[in-house]
Amino acid sequence: MRDREDRPWIHDITRPAALLTALFLDLTLGDPPNRFHPVAWMGSLIAGAQRRAPRHGHLAQLAYGALVAIGGTLGALSAGRLAKRVIERLPAPLNGLTEGAVLKMTFSVGRLTAVARQIETTLSAPEQDLAEARRLASWHLVSRDTSQLDSSQVAAAAIESVAESASDGIMAPLLAYAAFGLPGALAYRFVNTADSMLGYRDAAREWLGKIPARMDDALNVIPARMTAFLLTLGAGLVGESARNAWRTWRRDSGKTASPNAGHPMSAMAGALEIELEKVDHYTLGQGHRPPRTEDIGRAVRVMQAAVGLGIPLLTGLILIARRLSEK
């Protein structure tokens, strides 16, 4: 302990090192099997709680959903604090590497890229397998019914998911980590997982998922807008239209039912100069052409550029948070 107090710079580099380690592990090794993945454990806990949820009574379902969301979030915070205490006892640089390995479990750039590319490859093959592309989109990316989508609509669904996941699947947990460390990243991931499993307006989950959905909305207010801004900047870096991304973002971000999803999706629509439509729900980038298969790869490049821009921004936030905590 004495050695670490004599070298305060160690505290400054541990979390930036963990952030870079997490990104490296994500891009090189990908996700571990579910039996070793904390987010999979969260999903199993939420699924088990859902099976025990009240079947009748809106108030009982609402209260039960709140208990699951708040109790699970507190549990994730506690797990994060425990992990932090254990990691802090490790010598440098092992502490940063270990923290990075845990942080990696809260986001996935590599998997999002791989799934989007797989759909693009399936749609662009000489013998296009539209049914397989629909299955991949439904299984990995979207909750909507994909069985009747044409190839352009499947491409649109993939592009929307790349944009939205850049926010809630990548930048949001990393921003939570920058501000609050591992406890914040794990707590965010629990809330987001609860929303993705319970936040639907069907008979079984309409009231059960209201509190998780509202918590997720609140936690994504800043990340969604930050991601839209980064997508706008990233578009310019990879040769897409930053100007149109900005214009479309400002015009169309409020057209979705979600208070947050419209921000990164409208910025992406503008960047690629395409129209993203979910029939009977919203149209983003209206007036541009429908998406084509090759636009999926363009969306991935914009997303990757946005993440690349976000990493130094988050590193700066980590260092600022460190300085503020010392005052």
Q: What is the DSSP string of 74-92?
A: HHHHHHHHHHHHHHHTSPT
Taking only the tens place, the pLDDT of each residue in 41-89 is 999 999 999 999 999 999 999 999 999 999 999 999 999 999 999 999 9
Burial-class residue 124 by CB neighbours within 10 Å (0-12, 13-18, 19+). middle
The domains of the chain are located at 2-326
pLDDT at 2: 44
Three-state SS for 239?
coil
Give the per-residue SS3 of 31-73.
Answer: CCCHHHCHHHHHHHHHHHHHHCCCCCCHHHHHHHHHHHHHHHH
- For 273, other C-beta atoms within 10 Å of its C-beta total 18
Burial-class residue 73 by CB neighbours within 10 Å (0-12, 13-18, 19+). buried
> Rounded to whole angstroms, how far apart are CA atoms 291 and 114?
19
> Rounded to whole angstroms, how far apart are CA atoms 117 and 172?
23
**Which residue in this structure is represented by tokens 């993939």?**
158
pLDDT at 54: 95
> Rounded to whole angstroms, how far apart are CA atoms 289 and 308?
28
- The chain-wide mean pLDDT, for the chain, equals 93
Taking only the tens place, the pLDDT of each residue in 132-163 is 999 999 888 887 888 889 999 999 999 999 99
In angstroms, the Cα distances linking 85 to 2, 82, 89, 109, 241 are: 17, 5, 7, 27, 45
> Rounded to whole angstroms, how far apart are CA atoms 55 and 81?
35
Q: Which tokens in the block code for residue 316?
A: 């700066």
Average pLDDT of 257-271?
Answer: 97
Taking only the tens place, the pLDDT of each residue in 269-326 is 999 999 999 888 899 999 999 999 999 999 999 999 999 999 999 998 888 877 776 6
Confidence of residue 39 (pLDDT cuts 50, 70, 90): very high
